[in-house]
Structure 1
Amino acid sequence: MNIYTKNGDGGMTSLVHGPSIPKSDDRIELLGTLDELISHLGLVKADLSPGREKTLLEAIQKDLLAVVALTEDPHNRKNRLEEGAVEKLEAEIDAIRETLPAGKEEALPGGNRLSARVSVARSVARRAERRLSTVSIKFGSDAMAKKYMNRLGDYLYVLARSMEAEETELPEEKPVLKPQKETEMTEKNNALIEEILRRVNDNRKINLETAKKLTEKIEEEARRRGKQAVIAVCGPEGNPISVHVMDGAFLVSFDVAMKKAYTSVAVKMSTKELSVLAQPGGTFYGVDKMDGGKIVIFGGGIPLKVDGRIIGGLGISGGTGEEDHSLAEYGLSVLPEIL
């Protein structure tokens, strides 16, 4: 199995159950910074002897993975930091400060190599906190995650000062080759085989039954929002599977919803993304004049994906482009419950 998929060669990627977005998106920037922070903490952890600090750093890495999951899939209620995570950091900060000699809290980074590495991790943590703040303004975020990132920067700051006070130096680094146990290799091979078989046997697809269930979910949400819409679902080849017209929906929305669903699978991105690229000077400028007028360039169409594979398209029409796109995103978020 190739590690590369080539799906991101055009500068686009996607979150869990979400549409394709540019790699310059603030959420992708946050995910990259969190990944960088987790790696820096791993470097610090690798230089520590087994003990309390090493155990805590590993727990922090797991907490950061929870923040990553929150960013990738905010609709999943399971993606939450454990209760007491913030208070645990606060207790560690207070305990370390009590042990610091006078003047150590204001020391410059670099007292020794290990404390310097912690200081680098602290600066990356602060950057991740700023990225999270930006994402929170634009897309919303978990309040506990923001508190946690703020306390984490404080914790790493006092931890670096503590390590300077100890005047610890790392031993000379020597390459060590560790033999891998046969049982570990077997477990990894079995896990790989199971994943390959899962993907090969994954026959989840959009058919009339699943299209009806998805439509029911979206109609219920549309009513909650006070919207009257037309909901269209097509297969991965663009052929219509179902079209549902809510009472009070505009007559023109019938044709528009079908075109949105078709467009999303034809160009493999949401119609909202396409609208940006179809502006004068953009990569897809004039695309709406092609394919006999079946292509539309306003929000409301989203490709339905499972594990990166397009299994159909969803088109919503009845409100503004933003309102239709938001309702389509909701449909995409509940798709895993239906398949």
Structure 2
Amino acid sequence: MKHVKRVSKRTRVITGTSLAAAVALGGFGAYSASASDDTRTVAAAQAAGVKGNTTTTTTHLTIDAASKAAQAALDAAEKEGQRVTVAVVDRNGNTVLTLRGDGAGPQSYESAVKKAYTAVAWNSPTSELVKRLDDAPTLKDIPNTLFLAGGVPVTAKNAPIAGIGVAGAPSGALDEKFARAGADVLG
């Protein structure tokens, strides 16, 4: 017969409370991750007992808007005979979509994503950010960034909501021209 060690009441209460909190937080995280509008986000925060001004909402491009912008950038490049990749990232730097044009080089995919990420992270065209490297050369060491022309931010009410990056043309100026064409269709 095996001997079973008895656990104290205090240990059982702490363990049970910790488990309940973990389940509640896990459920809240799953719910808030799937929330697609402000109403559900606020409801999730209220359900979790969050009080006051402790939450925030952000604006993101719809997939349709991101697709239109990316296609406009790709069309602008193809019109000039350039083979590029276009990437659109959201405010958090997550890739929303990429379009790799016919014949675009293999390096263009990663470069386009990094240019888009860099543009949205600093809310500035990457051609402007390149100039900052003279004063702060270690900026280029920040992970997932690329300080080459070709990325532009997309803003709403002066706040960055997305980034568009283009890579593969023979110059960063052309890449940025095409990225700007994508941003321009959004208004």
Q: Which TM class, normalised by the smaller chain length?
A: 0.5 to 0.7
Measured in 1, the distance between the counterparts of 2:142 and 2:75 equals 34
Are 1:223 and 2:78 an aligned pair? yes
Report what 2:185 is aligned to: 334
Are 1:289 and 2:141 an aligned pair? yes
Measured in 1, the distance between the counterparts of 2:84 and 2:68 equals 16
Greater helix share, structure number: 1
User: Which structure has the bigger radius of gyration?
Assistant: 1
CA contact (8 A) 2:71 2:182 kept: no
Of the two structures, which has the highest relative contact order with CA contacts closer than 8 Å and spacing of 6 or more?
2
Q: Which amino acid in the other structure matches residue 296 of structure 1? A: L
Q: Secondary structure at the match of 2:137?
A: coil
1:212 maps to which of 67, 82, 91: 67
Unaligned 5+ residue runs, structure 1?
A: 1-202
Measured in 1, the distance between the counterparts of 2:177 and 2:146 equals 17
1:179-232 CA distance string (max 9 Å, x none)? xxxxxxxxxxxxxxxxxxxxxxxx963132211111222222111111111000
1:106-154 CA distance string (max 9 Å, x none)? xxxxxxxxxxxxxxxxxxxxxxxxxxxxxxxxxxxxxxxxxxxxxxxxx
Measured in 2, the distance between the counterparts of 1:278 and 1:264 equals 15
Deviation at 1:307, TM superposition (A): 2.5
Identity %: 28
Q: When the two structures are aligned, how many residues end up with a matched partner?
A: 129
Report what 2:156 is aligned to: 306
Unaligned 5+ residue runs, structure 2?
A: 1-57
Q: Secondary structure at the match of 1:296?
A: coil
Residues 52-67 of structure 1 mapped to structure 2, 5 A cutoff: none
CA contact (8 A) 2:87 2:99 kept: yes
1:146-165 CA distance string (max 9 Å, x none)? xxxxxxxxxxxxxxxxxxxx
RMSD: 1.5
Report what 2:122 is aligned to: 267
- Give the TM-score of the pair, scaled to structure 2: 0.65
- Give the TM-score of the pair, scaled to structure 1: 0.37
Measured in 1, the distance between the counterparts of 2:122 and 2:156 equals 17
Q: Secondary structure at the match of 2:186?
A: helix
Q: Secondary structure at the match of 2:145?
A: coil
Measured in 1, the distance between the counterparts of 2:108 and 2:101 equals 10
CA contact (8 A) 1:228 1:249 kept: yes
Measured in 2, the distance between the counterparts of 1:217 and 1:328 equals 9
CA contact (8 A) 2:72 2:181 kept: no
Measured in 1, the distance between the counterparts of 2:81 and 2:127 equals 22
1:234 maps to which of 84, 89, 96: 89
Q: Which amino acid in the other structure matches residue 105 of structure 2? A: F
